[in-house]
Structure 1
Amino acid sequence: MATIQMLVGLLLLSDLVESVSRENFKTCNQSSFCKRHRRLRSDASPYVVLMETMQIQPSRIEVQILNTKNNVRLLMQVTAIKDNTARLKINELNPLRKRYEIPVGDVLVGEPKTQDMKVLVRSGSSISLGFEENKILITSRPFRVDFINKEEPVVSINAQGLLKFEHSRERNPPQKGWLGIWFTRGFSEGEEEPKEPPMENQADKKKKEGEKKGNEENDANEPETWEETFKDFHDSKPYGPSSVGVDVSFRGFKYVYGIPEHAESMALKTTKSGDPYRLFNLDVFGYELYNPMALYGSVPVMLAHNEKQTVGVFWHNAAESWVDISFNTVDKVADIVGRGRNERPQTNTHWISESGVIDVFIMMGPTAHDVFYQYAQLTGTTNLPPMFAISYHQCRWNYNDQGDVENVDANFDIYDIPYDVIWLDIDHADGKRYFTWDARKFSNPIEMVNNIASKGRKMVTIVDPHLKVDGNYRINKEAKDQGLYVKNKDGNDYEGWCWSETSSWPDFTNPKVRQWWASKFLFDDYKGSTADLFTWNDMNEPAVFNGPEITLHKDAKHMGGFENSDLHNIYGYYMQQATAEGQLLRSNNKDRPFVLTRAFFAGSQRWGAAWTGDNAAEWSHLKVSIPMLLSLSLVGITHSGADVGGFFNNPDPELLTRWYQAAAFQPFFRAHAHEFSKRREPYLQPKKNMQVIRDAIRARYSYLPLWYTLFYEGEQSGAPPMRPLWVEYPTDKRTFKMDDEYLIGTSLLVKPITEKGQTGTHVYFPGKDQLWYDIASYNSYKGGQSTYVEAPLSKIPVFQKGGSIIPRKMRIRRSSGLMKHDPFTLVVCLDKSGSATGSLYVDDYNSFNYRKGEHLLRSFSFQHNEFHSRSGDKFCSFSTKEWVEKIVIIGLSARPTKAILNVKGVESSLQLSYSSDNNQVIIRKPGVNIAKDFSIKLS
């Protein structure tokens, strides 16, 4: 026990160190499979397509690929998928052992919908296939696949000749006889060992001879292919090497984005002089900035953009992966499909995974919004969060007891600062036994939660995956008795150290385990919980304090006998899914869940929000949070944020203030701090800073109608609420690397202050003929140029686009729950032609009834001095008390004297005021229910 406590204490101390302990984490050179793939020569590819084996189906072709060095055959499938997408999949033709593939319905929402394609040209050395405006060209020798959109090559597979597929094999030299095969091969869980030596036919014998030849070369040069040691940790690798990799070239593209999570710029950099970008979910405390080290989550999706097109690829593989990036130019004369003599940029990437299969989706846009939709069709969208989830959250490690919670809650009211959710960290539980309460500190949790809920607020408690190994702990006993834990390589329950001291980890890859976990959230099971209590999944990479790289051993076993090395990056995804399903279960699928996760994978957006982990109270961490969140947004993790103020250490009042201002205009808005940091609730700040922070939080609440509308639209289309400028201004090259400012939807431009002592900043306003209006002063700025804007501590540079109409709620309440029936203010900022459009989405802000049509979608327009509010969806109906309190119009060319309201043909005059500053008109109290159609004519 003392040893465990000392280890935890040392980890806590190391958490307060600003730089990461790099020696705890592998480099590519310390990862044998990464090293093997990275040293491949592009001119030595042994793979050829056996064209005579091709089978053509309406939407798919299948063909064998031969490795000419060892005579091992692979099977390639190329499929045309609806919505301008293609899929390329390569697996072993005759594997000795089934390779791990993520089950359909987990990351992929279902089997992708296919479409027919036709053969355009076929010869003995190549075949060209067509669908929509796309072509797929498969070349036999050397093996290569080109994806062409509108006669322009956009993505090529194996153009650099870096395909490497390590086939399953016996260890060489094998022990003689069938018993030796059993010892070297191993068996999956549930697989029966042979009752007698298997017969071997001549084809199998010839295949094995070819494999042996390749194995001898491998074993002679790379002994770690069969077992590997990092520091004091041994990876037994009972099934031998099974890595896969191939190069993916983006033709005509200079900029690529995505593959989070890294503390890195949005536009990804070349990796020629260092390590590749690593995708391996890890608990990296005190992480360094601007490097390719792995962090908490992994989304193997990359987008490429130029002024003509956006494309993307999705590497559907949950094993540890590395991605190399290099940039060059390609002469079109030498291009396999190009025409004309000119050079164009090209980005070459090399994708490497420790195991699994090659399964790549090519999303051919042609716009960024098309790619968002194409990816959403594969992995789903961010489900519309309940309103409280996009409001302000207050958290620290830890609020000490029930009295502490009551005091914090009361002080927010005393200082008139709105908030929606208060969070409890690990010390709220009895000895860090999750699903329990420390009775000494929280004697009546239901009363505590109900008191919070009476003000329209919620509570979140942390539930981590490590379960304390304790015979008196009911949750542990159930998991152990039912065999629900991850196993070690010997088949026993895996044990390691984490906050709960000696712990075991549920195997969330097993649907049975996920069902069991979900049942733990039922009110009868989770004593002290209510419908107003929600969940935070932390440490779910999973973190194991005494494990290799502070995580599970790679030879730990999951359902089906698959190793952790096969599926490591999906563990946190499955935990968040099981937790969300638990919240759905307790409400009988009536209420929307809210689950925050630290570890994530492709598709995690369907189960809740994510955050960027244990950042630090440094200006540099505030600055890097913007590209980190933009990178997450581009690959579907759209409800994301960074800990306000930094998790570690103590921000000074200026840094904390600027961080609140930035985060108030980001998707997930939560303040969080380490237990050893000083209390930093907004009301504890110097008066001036407290007032500015309060204004920032109030601004967030006033814009909740906009955020809610954007999240609804995102559920339909996959579009992220927080966007890089190039998404909406795709031909403006100045925006391609810009990641210090961003858009909220299309209507708000945000440029946070991220440097100490800064009282102004240059803001780039996109759109050559565009107008932008300061949201506070309504001063206007011309687009297509960079302008210096004053930004004293009291101000965050935020601008509304001319031509947009934004719905706001201006009444100050204690929480979003108390704003439910409040009226709207519609802010109309006109473009140069005197026009504007906008939209508003309304429902009950909590349940799934909106999917039954119980919602409103309003469409606003202003043109020729006339404002209109119309239904944007004739098939929906919803009754609400919300109404229009005020309409503010900015940028009118002439002063109006009358405002006539028309509701179903009945006209009435409205109060009107005018200010010559920015030609501002305020129409007060139209008094129309937001659900009704109406118009207002100015004259």
Structure 2
Amino acid sequence: MRALSSLLVLVAVPAALAVKTQDFKTCTQAAFCRRGRALSARAQENPSWSSPYSIDPSTISVLPGQASFTAGVKSLLYPDVKFGLDVRVHKDGVVRVRMDEVNGLRKHYDEAASWALIAEPDISPEIKWSVGKSDVRAVYGDKKDIEVVVAFQPLKVTLLRDGKEQVVLNGRGLLHMEHFRTKESAEEKLPVEQPQGDDSQVVMQVNSRAWFEGETEDGYWEEQFGSWTDTKPKGPESLSIDISFPNHGHVYGIPQHATRLSLPTTTGENAFYSEPYRLYNADVFEYLADSTMSLYGSIPVMHAHSAASTVAIFNAVGSETWIDVAHPTPRSTETHWISESGILDVFLMPGSTPADVFGQYTRLTGTPALPAHWALAYHQCRWNYVSSDDVRDVQRRFDLEDMPVDVFWLDIEYAEEHKYFIWDKKYFPDPVDMTRDVEAVGRKMVVIVDPHLKRAASYPVYQEAQERGVLVKSPGGSNDYEGWCWSGSAAWVDGFNPESWDWWTSLFKTAPQGDKWTWTESTVDTYIWNDMNEPSVFNGPEISMPRDNVHYGGWEHRDVHNINGMLFHNMTFQALKARSDPPKRPFVLTRSFYAGSQRFGAMWTGDNLGTWEHMAVGVRMVLANNIGGFSFAGSDVGGFFGNPEPEMLVRWYEVGIFSPFFRAHAHIDTKRREPYLLDEPYKGIIRSLLRLRYSMLPVWYTAFREASVTGLPVLRPHYVAFPHDEAGFALDDQYFVGSSGLLVKPICEKGATETSVYLPDDQVYYDYFNHYAYRGAAKGKHVTVPAELEKVPLLIRGGSIISTRERPRRSSPLMKYDPFTLRVALNAAGEAHGELYLDDGVTFSHQDGQFIWREFVATSDKKARGVRISSRNLAAQKPSEAVDGVALATYDIANSFVKEMLGVRVERVVVFGLASKPNKVQAGGRDLYWEFTPGVTASEKRQGTTSVLVVKDPDLSVTSDWEIVVQT
């Protein structure tokens, strides 16, 4: 839900509004961005441009036995201002580059990385730095193919592989860390030209700074935006750095933006956008479907990709940041990062594959949390279900129409006067009983808890926060900040204050805790939605908090703005985890996020519109979040605003069932659009789509297990799945689901009856529904596939085995003991592979080895002139890879969860592309019942309906090793 300029209780929400771009800054309206872009312009205009920053060789210190070195950095602009450089190589080859002002008047904010990283990375003990006359360098890697070079004058850091530049810092000379100064002692800058000649920098005088910084002090001490004045008591402190990828023509990441996946240019004559990409978590009402405007979250990680390699950078900065992207050639990329405050703290990830980069990044910031199994099912929400009876009626209607659903949501109207945790008893007189009714069939409740607290003596949560001193302060730091949000006059919890964490945890206890206020009118199966945590402030600048507000430690809000939302998300995650013993896996949805947020739950793309354009860009945004490490992502099905026609709503459900987070949501002014309200055939189509999502929950859960261990995303664009296929590098309207081999092409246009799907390799792809076989090509190929309204294009790549559960149930927990169907999609060699991961889906017992992890393999059997399909235990072979972040030294194949699941069987095996009709099909010497339909085989080079073998009820346990032999 989004913030409005006034409260719902005071002003009705207009039915049709549009983004008010005037509420949000452009680069030209942000002084530090203007300064950064002007710096870049001066560099481009001056052929002899050179960075004024250099290393003093006499200060270099290489620590014995450590892959790090430190050095002093000086700027010819300000000879008396000193900087310190720290460069280190981690055990996995990541290079960290830090630079900060030394002994300045104040301290630059340097804690962003501490919130993002899971731990301080281990430094490699094997790196040997070589200190030369002009640089420091080190060569490392298993093949000694990686080299990092730090040049002295001007300062430049280069990461190379096989002698080719991969990442270059300050190669264009745009590094500038504005030092702290006092307004009274600010020195006059003389407008002179940059000196020329080889010795120009040596003779450059202090008063010749204008060539680099500009002739005027632009917004150093105060800045106006609308009616707001940002006082900037610390003066200028922005950071500019150019980061180039000389051999990579595509860059991805830096979510969140409503743009293409492969990021278009923002500078130059042929720029696609005129504005840089902005990272500044903001509550943007009805955001544009194609824009570089900042949205709700910020992850400052960028992948750079070519057919030869993938590299990435993570820029650990928490303040507002603008990023220009340029492609000076089709195979190179230049970027310019301009941040309002903070230190230089950049991690260079050498790759060289997408999988390597995801591993390197998630070793820094953590892998996605393995969610509760039910959280991957269907969520039903709107602003608002208005009463306990309304919730019960919605549940009844889903059951009456035989539509599965796992979660019902309550928006802000459940809370009395928007005092979160406090039920409005006029409409919700029995919250616990209502929740128990939902839980009776395995379902859950999610309720909203926002970070603003109503300033009222009758609100115990606010009173305790005030008494404990854990609220954000106004400028100067002496008074609690007062702003305006849903609750009226409000205060904000300061998650940077360590005292706030235990207190916040105590609020979620469902049993009395002495004299502390606790949420006794909830259950341990009541989960949480954190909205408005950018933070959104209705009467604040850019619908947010003033930048000169003060957080714990004296840091200004400008320093920590983009981290703020993650802390609230983290606090709530920890609170839910601590409310039961043994703990259950939390589910917390967040709107605002930062690097590392993937450790704490799910996100959604905010207040989208019910339009085809927003449907399409939502797919790209979810893919971008997967690239940013945050796989548990989705967009509001149907669009938050508007009343989509039935065709659009059906298509949006087709998008939703193939999104990691699957929730329907709607604005308070929209018509009720629960799927059971539709007429036929639309209602029946959506029922089938919901059942399809539920049947494929094993695929999603297995993909999330892999993400929780390796960091590989749940949704994979083509450059991730096929990193050498250049034709797929810019694709962002189709994708693969994990390692399953499922290729999805959502339909996001009105009236479509067919679509073009790109097949990246010389392989057979089978239509999931009608078993039609399509053929790819060595250099990629587009094929036309049917896409009538009731059909989402879904292909299975040859060589894959898909595990599903086909019994319709009201909710996913009721499927726990249901049998499995295996779809074996043979490749041209008659082979296939797939995995299935299961655990209790609720607790953390999987971290103690309570799980099932099976591998299904189909191999060509020349002796039997057929195929062997087998099941084997992967966990016993790969115990260190089995669970999220926890390496098991041993794995007990007879663990208690396995024993509980002994009766769960494989009830059907479907084989696509078999070469000929079998003579017999056996398992353990038993003849099995089967049916065969002839058709195109996997090895043929033609398209058509494939052969299908259906093995019925082989009575094989999902927990044990077995083999099916198909003799032809």
Q: What is the TM-score when the length of structure 1 is the normalising length?
A: 0.92
Residues 188-225 of structure 1 deviation map (CA, whole Å, 9 limit, x = unaligned): xxxxxxxxxxxxxxxxxxxxxx9999799979712521
> Following TM superposition, by how much is the alpha carbon of 1:76 offset from its aligned partner in structure 2, in angstroms?
0.8
For 1:164 and 1:302, the matched residues in 2 are separated by 21
TM-aligned CA distance change 1:12 to 1:567, over 3 Å: farther
Aligned with residue 450 of structure 1, among 429, 436, 440:
436
Alignment match, 1:265: 260
For 2:841 and 2:214, the matched residues in 1 are separated by 60
Residues 755-807 of structure 1 deviation map (CA, whole Å, 9 limit, x = unaligned): 1111111111121x211101100101011311111211111100111100010
> Following TM superposition, by how much is the alpha carbon of 1:99 offset from its aligned partner in structure 2, in angstroms?
1.8
Q: Is the 8 A contact 1:810 1:824 kept in 2?
A: yes
Residues 312-342 of structure 1 deviation map (CA, whole Å, 9 limit, x = unaligned): 000001111111111113xxxxxxxxxxxxx
Aligned with residue 598 of structure 2, among 605, 625, 649:
605
Residues 343-386 of structure 1 deviation map (CA, whole Å, 9 limit, x = unaligned): x7220001111111010001111000110010000000111100
Aligned with residue 433 of structure 1, among 413, 419, 444:
419
Aligned with residue 238 of structure 2, among 232, 238, 243:
243
Aligned with residue 95 of structure 1, among 97, 104, 108:
104
Matched, 1:47 2:53: yes
Matched, 1:225 2:211: no
User: Quick one: which amino acid aligns to residue 932 of structure 2?
Assistant: Y
For 1:320 and 1:745, the matched residues in 2 are separated by 33
The correspondence of residues 592-741 of structure 1 with structure 2, limited to 5 A, is 592-741=585-734
Alignment match, 1:20: 19
> Following TM superposition, by how much is the alpha carbon of 1:153 offset from its aligned partner in structure 2, in angstroms?
1.2
TM-aligned CA distance change 1:695 to 1:247, over 3 Å: same
User: Quick one: which amino acid aligns to residue 866 of structure 1?
Assistant: R
The correspondence of residues 390-405 of structure 1 with structure 2, limited to 5 A, is 390-405=376-391
**Secondary structure of the residue that 1:707 maps to in structure 2?**
helix
For 1:76 and 1:603, the matched residues in 2 are separated by 25
User: Quick one: which amino acid aligns to residue 676 of structure 2?
Assistant: Y
Q: Is the 8 A contact 2:13 2:669 kept in 1?
A: no
For 2:428 and 2:687, the matched residues in 1 are separated by 29
For 1:472 and 1:593, the matched residues in 2 are separated by 29
Matched, 1:173 2:198: no
Q: Is the 8 A contact 1:315 1:359 kept in 2?
A: yes
Aligned with residue 928 of structure 2, among 910, 915, 923:
910
For 2:352 and 2:383, the matched residues in 1 are separated by 45
The correspondence of residues 772-851 of structure 1 with structure 2, limited to 5 A, is 772-783=765-776, 784-851=780-847
For 2:210 and 2:545, the matched residues in 1 are separated by 29
Matched, 1:145 2:160: no
For 2:634 and 2:906, the matched residues in 1 are separated by 31
For 2:219 and 2:112, the matched residues in 1 are separated by 30
Unmatched segments (≥5 aa) in structure 1: 176-209, 330-343
TM-aligned CA distance change 1:650 to 1:256, over 3 Å: same
Residues 162-210 of structure 1 deviation map (CA, whole Å, 9 limit, x = unaligned): 00101112223389xxxxxxxxxxxxxxxxxxxxxxxxxxxxxxxxxx9
**Secondary structure of the residue that 2:332 maps to in structure 1?**
strand
User: Quick one: which amino acid aligns to residue 733 of structure 2?
Assistant: D
Matched, 1:758 2:746: no
Aligned with residue 509 of structure 2, among 517, 522, 527:
522
Structure 1 range deviating more: 610-619 or 877-886: 877-886
Q: Is the 8 A contact 1:172 1:216 kept in 2?
A: no
User: Quick one: which amino acid aligns to residue 556 of structure 1?
Assistant: N
Alignment match, 1:537: 530
Q: Is the 8 A contact 1:80 1:116 kept in 2?
A: no
User: Quick one: which amino acid aligns to residue 762 of structure 1?
Assistant: S
Alignment match, 1:886: 908
> Following TM superposition, by how much is the alpha carbon of 1:928 offset from its aligned partner in structure 2, in angstroms?
2.0
Q: Is the 8 A contact 2:35 2:213 kept in 1?
A: no
> Following TM superposition, by how much is the alpha carbon of 1:119 offset from its aligned partner in structure 2, in angstroms?
4.5
Q: Is the 8 A contact 1:119 1:127 kept in 2?
A: no
User: Quick one: which amino acid aligns to residue 502 of structure 2?
Assistant: Q
TM-aligned CA distance change 1:522 to 1:16, over 3 Å: farther
Alignment match, 2:864: none
Structure 1 range deviating more: 254-263 or 518-527: 518-527
Matched, 1:934 2:962: yes
Aligned with residue 86 of structure 1, among 95, 100, 112:
95
> Following TM superposition, by how much is the alpha carbon of 1:898 offset from its aligned partner in structure 2, in angstroms?
1.5
Structure 1 range deviating more: 669-678 or 5-14: 5-14
> Following TM superposition, by how much is the alpha carbon of 1:527 offset from its aligned partner in structure 2, in angstroms?
2.5
User: Quick one: which amino acid aligns to residue 532 of structure 2?
Assistant: M
> Following TM superposition, by how much is the alpha carbon of 1:8 offset from its aligned partner in structure 2, in angstroms?
4.8
TM-aligned CA distance change 1:213 to 1:465, over 3 Å: farther
User: Quick one: which amino acid aligns to residue 853 of structure 1?
Assistant: G
Q: Is the 8 A contact 2:76 2:206 kept in 1?
A: no
TM-aligned CA distance change 1:916 to 1:303, over 3 Å: same
For 1:118 and 1:646, the matched residues in 2 are separated by 52
TM-aligned CA distance change 1:311 to 1:669, over 3 Å: same
Q: Is the 8 A contact 1:60 1:77 kept in 2?
A: yes
Alignment match, 1:360: 346
For 1:576 and 1:647, the matched residues in 2 are separated by 22
> Following TM superposition, by how much is the alpha carbon of 1:98 offset from its aligned partner in structure 2, in angstroms?
2.0
Alignment match, 1:185: none
Structure 1 range deviating more: 123-132 or 616-625: 123-132
The correspondence of residues 319-398 of structure 1 with structure 2, limited to 5 A, is 319-329=319-329, 345-398=331-384
Residues 41-75 of structure 1 deviation map (CA, whole Å, 9 limit, x = unaligned): 33142111111211112210111111101112211
RMSD of aligned Cα (Å):
1.9
User: Quick one: which amino acid aligns to residue 964 of structure 2?
Assistant: I
For 2:802 and 2:738, the matched residues in 1 are separated by 11
Q: What is the TM-score when the length of structure 2 is the normalising length?
A: 0.89
Residues 86-113 of structure 1 deviation map (CA, whole Å, 9 limit, x = unaligned): 1111111222222212266531000011
Aligned with residue 509 of structure 1, among 496, 506, 511:
496
TM-aligned CA distance change 1:220 to 1:311, over 3 Å: closer
Alignment match, 1:181: none
Q: Is the 8 A contact 1:15 1:286 kept in 2?
A: no
Alignment match, 2:67: 59
Identity over aligned residues, as a percent? 41
For 1:88 and 1:433, the matched residues in 2 are separated by 45
Alignment match, 1:110: 119
TM-aligned CA distance change 1:219 to 1:264, over 3 Å: closer
Alignment match, 2:37: 38
Q: Is the 8 A contact 2:483 2:490 kept in 1?
A: yes
Unmatched segments (≥5 aa) in structure 2: 44-48, 188-204, 512-517, 862-866, 877-890, 936-945
**Secondary structure of the residue that 2:416 maps to in structure 1?**
coil
Alignment match, 2:567: 574
Structure 1 range deviating more: 532-541 or 138-147: 138-147
Alignment match, 1:333: none
User: Quick one: which amino acid aligns to residue 892 of structure 1?
Assistant: L
Matched, 1:498 2:485: yes
User: Quick one: which amino acid aligns to residue 782 of structure 1?
Assistant: R
The correspondence of residues 161-310 of structure 1 with structure 2, limited to 5 A, is 161-173=173-185, 221-222=216-217, 224-272=219-267, 273=271, 274-310=274-310
Alignment match, 1:420: 406
Aligned with residue 736 of structure 2, among 743, 747, 750:
743
Q: Is the 8 A contact 1:428 1:438 kept in 2?
A: yes
Q: Is the 8 A contact 1:870 1:933 kept in 2?
A: yes
**Secondary structure of the residue that 2:578 maps to in structure 1?**
helix
> Following TM superposition, by how much is the alpha carbon of 1:139 offset from its aligned partner in structure 2, in angstroms?
1.2
For 1:217 and 1:83, the matched residues in 2 are separated by 37
Aligned with residue 449 of structure 2, among 457, 463, 470:
463
For 2:84 and 2:115, the matched residues in 1 are separated by 24
Q: Is the 8 A contact 1:219 1:225 kept in 2?
A: no
Q: Give the paired residue count.
A: 882
Q: Is the 8 A contact 2:78 2:206 kept in 1?
A: yes
Q: Is the 8 A contact 1:47 1:65 kept in 2?
A: yes
Q: Is the 8 A contact 2:916 2:934 kept in 1?
A: no
